[in-house]
Structure 1
Amino acid sequence: MDIDSLINDVIDREGGYSNQAADAGGATRWGITEAVARAEGYGGDMRRLSRAQAAAIYRRRYWAAPGLDGVAAVAPALAAELFDTGVNMGPVAAASFLQRALNALNRGARDYPDLLVDGRLGLRTAAALSAFLALRGRSGEGVLLKAVEALQGEKYLALAEARPANEAFLYGWLANRIG
């Protein structure tokens, strides 16, 4: 799946304008929070953020900036999941989930060195991903995908446990963001 399709899927799933009191993200349009829109230079009313503006923010902030093109070149399904996770939890969280999974799957650093879990998809993370996929073959991407989704699911549960207002979103997060 290409980035345009991924962006369209996210925008379609997120819908138009929302400003629910229980949502800590506040006002959103097309899934873009007001804070993110402002950080990306948008100064207008959130109700008027265009779909094209939202798509540009998704491409720049959640695909290009974290370096998901490199992941997509070797593991496209994993890149799609990291994009979606980054949209919902932030790119640092998505990259951290991948780094944690790669560390846990490197058989005591015998297959490749442990990574610093810093939430950045740099050269070391790329090398570890390539080494893992070279050793595990086609099934490796699926295993990494499951590990990232398991970490994401655990984070959703922790968010709901820590802030009861998040319980209103837990079902949707699990239904729409995992698997």
Structure 2
Amino acid sequence: MSIDDVIEEIIRVEGGYVNDSRDAGGETKYGITIATARANGYSGPMRDLPKSLAIEIYRRQYVIAPGFDKIGALSQPIAAELVDTGVNMGPTVAGRFLQRALNALNNQGRSWPDLVVDGAVGAKTREALAAYLQQRGREGEAVLLKALNALQAVRYIELAEARAANEAFVYGWLRTRVA
């Protein structure tokens, strides 16, 4: 699945205009919150947010800025997972999930050095991922995806535990976001 495919799937899952009072993000269209739209220069009604602008925001803010496009050069499935998680939880959270998983899979630092878990997916994180994929291959890629999804699922439950209104969304998050 390409990054373009991932963005289209996110837009499909997020749907059109939504203004659910239980959602801390407020008004959204295509999953873009009003705050994100405004921060990206959109000043019109959220109901009228153009799909092309949503795609541009997703690409700029959730693919290129966090460096997930560079992860795609190593593994499209891992990049796709990071983009999807980044859209729903923030790119820094997605980056931390990757770093935590790679640290847990590095054989106590013998396969590659431990990463600082800061969510910044830079050269060291890419080097660790490349080493992991070289060592473990496609099977390892599938295992890493399971680890990322497990961390994501736990985070959804934590969000519901921290804010009762989020319980309204947990089923859908688990159904559509956790593979």
Normalising TM by the smaller chain, what interval?
A: over 0.9
Aligned identity (percent) is 58
- Structure 1 residue aligned with 2:168: 168
- The 5 A counterparts of 1:17-96 are 17-96=17-96
Structure 2 unaligned residues grouped into runs of 5+: none
Deviation at 1:4, TM superposition (A): 1.8
- Structure 2 residue aligned with 1:8: 8
TM score, norm. by length of structure 2: 0.97
Secondary structure of 1:71's counterpart equals helix
- Structure 2 residue aligned with 1:154: 154
Q: Which amino acid aligns with 1:55?
A: I
For 1:109 and 1:39, how far apart are their aligned partners in 2?
A: 40
For 1:40 and 1:112, how far apart are their aligned partners in 2?
A: 38
Secondary structure of 1:74's counterpart equals coil
Asked if residue 105 in structure 1 is aligned to residue 134 in structure 2, the reply is no
For 1:72 and 1:121, how far apart are their aligned partners in 2?
A: 12
Deviations 1:51-103 (A, max 9, x none): 11101101111111111121111111111111100110011010110000000
- Structure 2 residue aligned with 1:115: 115
User: What is the aligned length?
Assistant: 179
Structure 1 unaligned residues grouped into runs of 5+: none
For 2:41 and 2:115, how far apart are their aligned partners in 1?
A: 34
- Structure 1 residue aligned with 2:125: 125
Secondary structure of 1:63's counterpart equals helix
Q: Which amino acid aligns with 2:37?
A: A
For 1:152 and 1:4, how far apart are their aligned partners in 2?
A: 22
RMSD: 0.8
Secondary structure of 2:73's counterpart equals helix
Q: Which amino acid aligns with 2:165?
A: A
Q: Which amino acid aligns with 1:47?
A: R
Deviation at 1:6, TM superposition (A): 1.3
Deviations 1:154-173 (A, max 9, x none): 00000011111100000000
Runs of 4+ in structure 1 off by over 3 angstroms are: none
For 2:148 and 2:5, how far apart are their aligned partners in 1?
A: 21
